[in-house]
Structure 1
Amino acid sequence: MRTWLPDGDATYRSSDGRRKTTWAQLHAQFDLVEVTS
């Protein structure tokens, strides 16, 4: 499972820093699960 982190400019990046995307792209391509601490 890939973890996406907010990047500060309305985009999200993968935890390894290799991928970057928008919320709309994430929502369209993946079943998202929000995990809170």
Structure 2
Amino acid sequence: SPLGSAVLGKRVGDTAGYTLANGKEMIVEIVKVEAYAH
């Protein structure tokens, strides 16, 4: 996903940007990272 690709490898405090389906840019800030357990 565009969001997943944008945040891959980022750390808490980092920002990441990606393009939405409507062409607009979205900027997100990483505030917490947690492991996902299946």
TM-score above 0.5: no
Q: TM-score, with normalisation over the residues of structure 1?
A: 0.25
Q: Which has the higher contact order (CA 8 A, sep 6+)?
A: 2
Larger Rg: 2
| TM-score relative to the length of structure 2 | 0.25
